[in-house]
């Protein structure tokens, strides 16, 4: 009986090791792909959401309450910021498509960001996106980053302008 228990324990341990190795391989396959652009998409979504929240806080008298307590979705934050008319419509469209892509990345196991994904994201930028494509060719990652940088610049443009105006006012007050 003791021999059977030892054998069963050894079998269980061996089975556990086999399952663990398969799980590890699967996780590494999903997380360790060198060509994986999903983390870039997720980070851009996170960064853009942060900037949307900053715009809400800056534009509404108690925007901090909206951001902290309203539990707004990304789409709702984007719609609210769009109503401020600070961000070009083309950038709002890119951010809306980014949200859709982020949801796809978050809810499907093996999403691979392709040139067609980047095309859908960037198309709203029109001629500017066409120039990016000519510059980057088949380099999907660089094209994706170009689109994100362009969008991010628009998200922070108003805040930079406000900061510059504040600095000028501060310097004028000192003179």
| Tally of CB atoms within 10 A around 83 | 9
CA pair distance 39, 32, nearest whole angstrom:
11
Ramachandran angles phi, psi of 38, nearest 5°: -60, -45
For 115-145, the pLDDT digits (tens) are 999 999 999 999 999 999 999 999 999 999 9
Residues with Cβ within 8 Å of 115's Cβ and at least 6 positions away in sequence, in order, are 138, 140, 143
- Select from 84, 57, 61 the least CA-distant residue to 154: 84
Ramachandran angles phi, psi of 85, nearest 5°: 60, 40
pTM (2 decimals)?
Answer: 0.78
Which strand (E) or helix (H) includes residue 97? helix 89-107
DSSP class of 85: T
Range in 49-53, 62-66, 133-137, 155-159 the model is least confident about: 155-159
Contact 102/41 with Cβ under 8 angstroms? yes
């Amino acid at each position: 009986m003791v021999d059977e228990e030892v054998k069963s324990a050894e079998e269980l341990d061996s089975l556990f090791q086999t399952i663990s190795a398969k799980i590890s391989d699967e996780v590494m396959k999903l997380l360790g792909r060198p060509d994986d652009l999903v983390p870039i998409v997720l980070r851009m979504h996170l960064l853009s959401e942060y900037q949307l929240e900053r715009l809400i806080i800056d534009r509404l008298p108690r925007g901090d309450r909206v951001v902290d307590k309203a539990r707004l979705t990304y789409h709702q934050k984007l719609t609210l910021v769009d109503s401020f008319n600070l961000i070009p419509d083309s950038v709002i469209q890119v951010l809306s498509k980014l949200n859709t892509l982020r949801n796809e990345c978050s809810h499907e196991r093996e999403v691979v960001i392709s040139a067609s994904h980047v095309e859908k994201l960037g198309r709203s930028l029109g001629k500017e996106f066409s120039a990016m494509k000519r510059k980057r060719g088949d380099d999907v990652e660089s094209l994706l980053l170009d689109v994100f940088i362009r969008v991010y610049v628009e998200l922070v443009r108003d805040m930079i302008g406000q900061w510059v105006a504040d600095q000028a006012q501060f310097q004028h007050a000192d003179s």
